[in-house]
Amino acid sequence: MRFTLVFENQQEGIGASYDLLFAPCPIWYAAGKEFLNLNPQDPYLNPGCVKRLIEHEHLQDVEKCVVVIHSVGLGDDKSLKVLEDDLDVLKIKYKVVNFSDTK
């Protein structure tokens, strides 16, 4: 699996969309470019990954997010759980859209 997080923009303008890829370590991408390697030493996603993204990108007042699950990639259900737990800790409401389940 790989994941895309789309944050609701509180103001008119461009929204914020970020991909979380595992190559094999977890890396945040935007516009097709790597910008934050979360854990270069191991392939596991650790708690705090969403907070690090928000701080790095200077996102403010984030309240809502869509998490898109793509069927390709090295992420797993544990990685999804870490993402969901991080969003819960940050009190960001989210919906999960799983393209892996679509027919």
pTM higher than 0.85: yes
Rounded Cα gap, residues 17 and 81, in angstroms: 19
Neighbours of 14 (CB within 10 A): 7
In this structure, is the dihedral angle defined by the CA atoms of residues 79, 102, 64 and 14, taken in order, positive or negative?
A: positive
Domain boundaries, the chain: 2-101
Domain 2-101 has CATH 3.30.230: no
> What pLDDT score was predicted for residue 20?
95
The identity of residue 64, as a single letter, is K
> What pLDDT score was predicted for residue 103?
56
How confident is the prediction along the chain (103 residues), in pLDDT tens digits per residue?
Answer: 899 999 986 665 566 899 999 988 999 999 888 889 998 888 899 999 999 999 999 888 889 999 999 988 888 999 999 999 999 999 999 999 997 765 5
